[in-house]
Amino acid sequence: MAKSTARFVCQNCGAVAPRWQGRCDTCGEWNTIVEEQPEAPRAPGPAGKSAGGRRLEFVALKGRAAPPPRTVSGMAELDRVLGGGFVPGSVILVGGDPGIGKSTILLQAAARIANAGRRVLYISGEEAIDQVRLRALRLGLQDSPLGLAATTSLRDIAASLEEEKEATLVIIDSIQTVWLDSLDSAPGTVSQVRACAAELTRLAKTRNFAVVLVGHVTKEGTLAGPRVLEHMVDATLYFEGDRGHQFRILRAVKNRFGATDEIGVFEMTDRGLVEVANPSALFLAERRGNISGSAVFAGMEGTRPVLVEIQVLLSPSASGGSPRRQVVGWDSGRLAMLMAVLESRCRVSLGQNDVYLNIAGGLRVSEPAADLAVGGGLVSAATDRPTDPDMVFFGEIGLSGEVRQVSQTDTRLREAAKLGFAAAMLPRRVARGGRAATAHDGLRLSEIGHLADLVAPLAASAAKGAEKSPKKE
């Protein structure tokens, strides 16, 4: 007889360890291993060749395939991230830090769809009915005809949904709180989360309603527990943002029915989440011109251009040890690379300074196209000369200091022109045969081929400035 059938499962990555240990060997997280009872043994697979199996009918790739119908919420930012609305029968995972606004946005979307005459069910495992009602009152949605229930029992949820004929959308807030009593593991463990999601997925497909699973995220930005769900669901959306900021960004990281990397921007107000139709204006709202270390990046988030300010601060290292590199909203490895390129290819000395880099407004930028703007910020901080406040920057930088092409040049330039910028610094476009300055939508363009072309003007103006006026104390 086997001694024990218990398994030790990492709640972060789902890896199974043979015994309890403090740190997961697979993902390196501490204190994530939990003992779980094994899931019920599966029915034995077909013994032999084809016992009980049905012969498949293979069809041609070409055929009629209608685009899926969609239920739009009327919140344009949400609908766009979803790829045009909720698809019936699909399962959507919405992840985010606790308190970021997941319940709020879903209640708002649910109420709007219910107001449009669809049947929407909101099942809360985290909050009591009264708490949800209070939130609805605060949001002014108390008259919405959506169905509300508070439970954590998946058995009850399944029994109710099995009977559902009309539901269009079902929201489970959150997947970590619901549990199946046939499993011994605690709610929120990998096996519970997986089993509950599998059951809800089955219901969504058979009853043809969309299911939204809410999942909490650990501080490292991965869905704890629910991370194992990412491959099961049709779409994964992250709701991100800094609780110190008003902005919230809904980002699609997986979407079987739409584009990924699409974002929706919202602002948290005292009456819930409000859509932000023009994020660039919002991200640049508090920008002050003529400060060294600042450069505006003309970025792309999915299909949409977003202008953000990149801020760099250099300060002499106090400790005398190795200088600090503190990065918010960008990749610190990329910053180290860029600094090395500046030092060895452009002879910009960043020396023993601590370097702080911040993407203003709480956005996370992952595009390599931000290199040139970060370079602009670094050089500007190092020379203590502001970059042209009416100029935007974009372009990827290679290890030899070359400025490389990026996609969607026209969209970026159009957005910059729309927001009243007068100039742009961008990679030299090959087709133009290296002509340095052309115009686009009234923008002055400085097309450059090497990072040194960005450094030279700032360094020159710094030298001139130093001659004229001795540096202020």
Q: Which residues bind ligand TYD (CB under 6 A)?
A: 96, 98-104, 135, 138-139, 268, 270-272
**What is the size of the binding site for Mg ion (CB under 5 A)?**
1
Q: CB 90 → Mg ion: shortest distance, Å?
A: 21
What minimum distance in Å lies between the beta carbon of 216 and ligand TYD? 7
Alpha carbons within 13 angstroms on the beta-carbon side of residue 104 total 22
Q: Pick from Mg ion, ligand TYD, none: which does 99 bind, CB < 5 to 8 A by kind?
A: ligand TYD
Residue (169 or 296) nearer to Mg ion, CB: 169
The C-alpha atoms of residue 356 and residue 351 are separated, in whole angstroms, by: 14
103 touches Mg ion by CB under 5 A: yes
Which one of ligand TYD, Mg ion, none interacts with residue 139, CB within 5 to 8 A by kind?
Answer: ligand TYD
The listed partner (Mg ion, ligand TYD, none) that binds 345, CB under 5 to 8 Å by sort, is none
Give whichever of 121 and 372 is closer to ligand TYD, judged by the CB atom. Answer: 121
Give Rg (Cα) of the chain.
27
Residue number with CB closer to ligand TYD (244 or 470): 244
Measuring CA to CA, which residue among 286, 57, 5, 37 is closest to residue 182? 37
> Nearest distance from residue 298's CB to Mg ion, in Å?
35
CA distances 466 to 387, 410, 450, 456, Å, are: 16, 38, 25, 15
Query: Between 250 and 451, whose beta carbon lies closer to ligand TYD?
Result: 250
Nearest to 415 by CA among 274, 284, 310, 292: 284
Shortest Å, Cβ 82 to Mg ion: 19
Between 96 and 258, CB nearer to ligand TYD:
96
Q: Minimum Å distance from CB 94 to ligand TYD? A: 9
Between residues 121 and 314, which has the closer beta carbon with respect to Mg ion? Answer: 121
Q: Angle between the 129-139 and 102-115 helix axes, to the nearest 10 degrees? A: 70
First-last CA distance in the chain: 81
If contact means CB under 5 to 8 A according to the sort of partner, which of Mg ion, ligand TYD, none does residue 100 touch? ligand TYD
- Report the nearest approach of ligand TYD to the CB of residue 102 (Å): 3
Contacted by 432, from Mg ion, ligand TYD, none: CB < 5 to 8 Å by type: none
User: Which residue of this chain has its Cβ atom nearest to Mg ion in the complex?
Assistant: 103
What residue has token string 């669809």?
118
| Residue (99 or 145) nearer to ligand TYD, CB | 99
Question: Considering the complex, what minimum distance in angstroms separates the CB of residue 171 from Mg ion?
Answer: 11
| Residue whose CB is less far from Mg ion, 103 or 446 | 103
- The answer to the question of residue 176 lying near Mg ion (CB under 5 A) is no
Q: What Cα–Cα distance (Å) separates residue 58 from each residue in 50, 62, 198? A: 17, 12, 27
Q: Closest approach of Cβ 393 to ligand TYD, in Å?
A: 34
Cis bond before residue 292 (omega within 30° of 0): no
Cα angle vertex 146, ends 231, 274, to 5°? Answer: 70
Question: Of 87 and 94, which has the nearer Cβ to ligand TYD?
Answer: 94
Q: How far is the CA of 62 from the CAs of 58, 68, 232, 257, 419, in angstroms? A: 12, 17, 26, 19, 45
Taking CB under 5 A as the rule, which mask of x and - marks residues 241-270 in contact with Mg ion?
A: ------------------------------
Kindly state the smallest distance separating residue 265's Cβ from ligand TYD, in Å: 16
Q: Which residues bind Mg ion (CB under 5 A)?
A: 103
